Amino acid sequence: MDIAEKDADVNVADNLRTVRTQIAAAAEAAGRAADEVTLVAVGKVQPVERVEAALEEGQRVFGENRIQEAQGKWPALKQKYPGVALHLIGPLQTNKAADAVALFDVIETVDRPKLARVLADEMKKQGRSLECFIQVNTGEEEQKAGVLPSEADAFIATCRSEHGLNVTGLMCIPPVNEEPALHFALLREIARRHGLEKLSMGMSGDYETAIEFGATHVRVGTAIFGERQKPTG
């Protein structure tokens, strides 16, 4: 498809309003307040103009899944639009932990002991304390990041007591071909056991269901910014 034509089709401001309205409706249907749900706008692989359009509409919480891409885009945008909170929602390699701690505000993908330790060391070094969510591989998928449900309890405890991380929530990405509700319910149950208040779950296709199951953070990309162009290279 012609790219210019495709770009013209995407009205980020309208899409944002629609998503916000649907979040509020889903929250109300679940007997929850709309402001209990934070919209994390996922602008990965999108033209920066679309991300700026969301910023112009007052959106301030964003998710990125790759350090390098975020580094190319966000330092300038953070300067221009004060109050941005950046969530890392993609896998983090330990050799990128320093960069992640410097740029992001919340790491949603803490999922293994070595990463927890390196993150804790980097936060001390940089004098920054980021909120951390533990990613749980609720579908126990081989190729997917996240701690296994059976290992989540021990890992959460270790992150807190041994590494002193500020663990405030859990995150999951359900398998594409399964009913997401089961995964959302499992994540909520693990969080409840640990008194964790934040649940990052739900994407463009299932954020309303996620809100029904207690999501406090929904990570929405395509429904706001349109289909992603495939990353090059």
191 binding ligand PLP? (CB under 6 A): no
94 binding ligand PLP? (CB under 6 A): no
Pair type for strands 217-220 and 38-42: parallel
Q: Among 22, 71, 166, 222, which residue sits at the site for ligand PLP (rule: CB under 6 A)?
A: 222
Closer by beta carbon to ligand PLP, 42 or else 132 = 42
Q: Among 130, 156, 173, 196, which residue sits at the site for ligand PLP (rule: CB under 6 A)?
A: 173
Q: Are 174 and 210 in contact (CB under 8 A)?
A: no
Query: How many whole angstroms separate alpha carbon 65 and alpha carbon 73?
Result: 13
Q: Among 194, 204, 208, 209, which residue sits at the site for ligand PLP (rule: CB under 6 A)?
A: 204
User: What b-and-e string marks burial along 125-155, b requiring 16 or more CB atoms within 10 Å of the CB?
Assistant: eeeeebbbbbbbbbbeeeebbbbebeebeeb
C-alpha angle with apex 73: 65 to 132, nearest 5 degrees? 40
Closer by beta carbon to ligand PLP, 71 or else 222 = 222
Q: Are 110 and 165 in contact (CB under 8 A)?
A: yes
The CB-of-65 to ligand PLP minimum distance in angstroms stands at: 4
42 binding ligand PLP? (CB under 6 A): yes
Q: Among 54, 89, 107, 110, which residue sits at the site for ligand PLP (rule: CB under 6 A)?
A: 89
44 binding ligand PLP? (CB under 6 A): yes
- Interacting span for ligand PLP (CB under 6 A) from 74-82, 118-126, 137-145, 201-209: 201-209
The CB-of-64 to ligand PLP minimum distance in angstroms stands at: 9
Binding residues for ligand PLP restricted to 126-165, rule: CB under 6 A: none
221 binding ligand PLP? (CB under 6 A): yes
- Count of residues of this chain found to bind ligand PLP when the rule CB under 6 A is applied: 14
Grouping H, G, I as helix, E, B as strand and the rest as coil, residue 170 is strand
**Residues in CB range of 220: below 8 A, 6 or more apart:** 19, 39, 40, 41, 42, 202, 203, 204, 207
For 141, which DSSP code?
Answer: -
Closer by beta carbon to ligand PLP, 124 or else 228 = 228
Query: How many whole angstroms separate alpha carbon 56 and alpha carbon 163?
Result: 38
The CB-of-10 to ligand PLP minimum distance in angstroms stands at: 13
Binding site for ligand PLP (CB under 6 A): 42, 44, 65, 89-90, 173, 203-205, 219-223
